[in-house]
A and B are shown apart, each in its own frame.
Chain A
Amino acid sequence: MSALSTVGAVLAAKGSGEIDGIRLFVPASYDILWSLVVVIPIAILFYKVVLPKFTAVLDERTERIEGGIAKAESAQAEAEAALARHTQELAEARAEAARIREDARGEGAAIVAELRAKAGADAERILETAQRQIEAERQQAVVSLRAEVGTLATQLASKIVGEALDDQVRQSRVVDRFLDELEASITADAGKGK
């Protein structure tokens, strides 16, 4: 306060009596009026225009930043979930592949075994057929041979003996006896051969 009183004193002294120093600190009514005239518009401008606008922008910026952070967090969580899902799917796929391979191997083995069995059966059947055919052909050969050999032997014997074995009955009986003897000797040979 002493500073201010000094100001007042000095100013009063310098005022050379024309203007009272106290007027510096007791405002005139027009001073107050013009103060209001300049301050009120400034206050209105700041209250209604400047601060709302800047506050809105500041708030929006804060919101954006917070929103961005939240978004980044959710994106990260999503990425992690996707990674987990993919890992799981990969594991499942691997297991599936292994299972399929195993199945295929088993199935392949079964097919091979089946084919082998079928081939064996076929071979056996073919063999059997062949044997049967051979047997039949042998029988046929035996029959035809018997007839042939009989005829030849009779002719031969006729020539040798000079005796016609024309008599059918006799002829047949002779041939049969010969063949039976022959067969017996073959069988005996075969039995010895074994």
Chain B
Amino acid sequence: MRRRGVDRRPHDPEELVLYTAATTRLLAAAGESGGGFKAPTIAEFFPGVIAFEGTLFEFNRIMLVRVIGAVALCLLFWAASRRVSLVPGRGQGVAEMALDFVRVNIAQEVLGKDSRRYVPMLTTLFFAILAFNITGVIPLLNIAGTSLMGLPLVLAAWVYVVYLAAGVKAHHGVGAFLKSNLFPPGVPPVLYLLITPIEILQVFLFRPATLAIRLTANMIAGHLLLVLSFAATQFFFFEATGAIKAIGALSLAAGFAFTLFELLVAALQAYIFTLLAAVYINLSTEAH
């Protein structure tokens, strides 16, 4: 099984959340006595509307960040592919290495010989997610484009449609695909009572849902951590009195460390999302 990628994540949202929760309460308690500390809330993810309020095109800060991220990514790759030559220069070398990472280490590793067809999708997924994750630690942008459910959900829906279509095509028909995926052979028929409902949930609900939720939750947790660290630093430095000010150095260091950590998480989540997309395609296309 190649699903190991899921278990490999060193970043357990539960731990982070608990940490966040505990710290928040502590700081909130401190804040009550100091009077000025504002803990981050989920209002962070619903900033004020910039334009088109109340319409389908409602535009806020996170949408702006997404647009900036997309434009930056497009410009970067457009510039890299403008002058591709047989003998690569430095920029092209880096671009080729990045593209090869998806093509070789994800697509070929998981999908083997029929990986070529899915390379464009996996490459788009990886670099789009990476770009929108990384905005979370870029100064002035400071929020991941993927920290709102919409984007991860759109990407997960894309993967969902592709792996279902690939499965149906590979098994030459919906019936054969369902039979292969929901009634795995080599199992005593009685166990189908147990396995089939689980498999139905897996194939039709859990796979796309976990793809989207894992990414969003990671980005939300990361953003809250950073906001918390820096809000606490601000509070300790400018509103706390006496020796408590010194704690601000600690929270500042934590903020710095979490920024680096979020950089890692951004890359890791892009990798996991893309790897799982490839794994799901592989699971639905291979004959059981």
Contacts and interface: CB of A to CB of B under 8 A. Distances in A.
A27 B220 CA distance: 14
A24 B58 contact: no
A38 interface: yes
Contact of B77 (A11, A31, A46): A46
A27 B42 contact: no
Residue from A19, A21, A43, A54 with most neighbouring chain B CB atoms (10 Å): A54
B13 A4 contact: yes
A7 B17 CA distance: 6
B86 A39 contact: no
Interface string A44-67: 011101110110111011001000
B14 A30 contact: no
Interface in B127-148: 127-128, 131-132, 145, 148
Interface string B90-105: 0000011001000000
B213 interface: yes
Given A24-B220, A32-B153, A34-B66, A15 B41 contact: yes
Given A41-B74, A54-B95, A7 B150 contact: no
Interface stretch (B18-26, B260-268, B276-284): B18-26
Residue from B42, B78, B120 with most neighbouring chain A CB atoms (10 Å): B42
A28 interface: yes
Contacts of A33: 56-57, 150
A57 B84 contact: yes
A15 to B, nearest CB: 5
A45 B78 contact: yes
A168 interface: no
A30 B58 contact: yes
A56 B92 CA distance: 14
Interface string A1-36: 011101100111011101101011111111111111
A49 B18 CA distance: 44
A42 B132 CA distance: 12
Interface of A: 2-4, 6-7, 10-12, 14-16, 18-19, 21, 23-39, 41-43, 45-47, 49-51, 53-54, 56-58, 60-61, 64
- Give me the 6 closest cross-chain CB pairs, A-B, nearest first: A31-B150, A3-B14, A27-B150, A30-B58, A38-B70, A35-B151
